[in-house]
Amino acid sequence: MEIKRQAALNLFHRRKFEESFQLYAEIKTDVITIIQMFPEFLPEKLQKDAAAFDLPANDKKRALLALGNYLSAVRADLSKQLDQYNRERHQSQANLSMSPEHLKSLHISLQVIDTALLKCYLQTRPSLVDSLLRLHNNSCFFEDAETILKAENRLPSLFILYESRKKHEMGDFTLILIILFFCTVGD
């Protein structure tokens, strides 16, 4: 296992990002370990021990595109696990397939993944931001997502975030800001 982990890291250093993330996925490396290669994508409380890789701009963009693909695939897998658990729970099955500890770990991983995906998409695929926020089980850290979207002046995306989290008063205020923005642009 350690040999494959070193091989994946070696691929990353050789700028073979897709292959690196595929190998990490194959050996089921913890997703937070992968995101630590891009500490700016972690919540502040997890950034303390992370060391960033210094990549030229072009390589960084390719790495982020590969990271986005990797995170999206991992997210899909974790979402399936969560959906399966919820189906079992709603069917009142006594033998649930997931322990409470695993369920909590799954939720935390989804929060970290969704927040990292938001940051990644803003840099590489901005058109996917709203789709991510609209997912029924989007788990972005709310405060982080709100701060990021405000900093990027993504008011329509901010509105989607508020609506998806049932923060209707904030969503209504944001909608007013969007309308005012578009009214002043026409002047």
What's the predicted TM-score (pTM) here?
0.84
AA identity, residue 34: I
Distance (Å, whole) CA 132 – CA 151: 18
d(CA 34, CA 21): 8
Say which range, 15-19, 129-133, 158-162, has the weakest mean pLDDT.
Answer: 158-162
Greatest CA span in the chain, whole angstroms? Answer: 63
Q: How far apart are CA 36 and CA 20, in angstroms?
A: 14
Reported confidence tier of residue 3, pLDDT bands at 50, 70, 90: very high
Q: Residue 135: how many CB atoms within 10 A of its CB?
A: 14
pLDDT of residue 163: 87
Model pLDDT, residue 89: 78
Q: What is the pLDDT of residues 55-90, one digit of tens each?
A: 899 999 999 999 999 999 999 999 999 888 888 777
Confidence of residue 134 (pLDDT cuts 50, 70, 90): very high
Please report the pLDDT score of residue 168 as a whole number: 60
Question: What is the C-alpha to C-alpha distance for residues 108 and 113, in angstroms, rounded to an integer?
Answer: 9
Per DSSP, 39 falls in state G
In angstroms, the Cα distances linking 136 to 15, 19, 79, 131, 139 are 34, 30, 10, 10, 9
The predicted-structure confidence for 97-116, as pLDDT tens digits, reads as follows 778 898 899 999 999 999 99
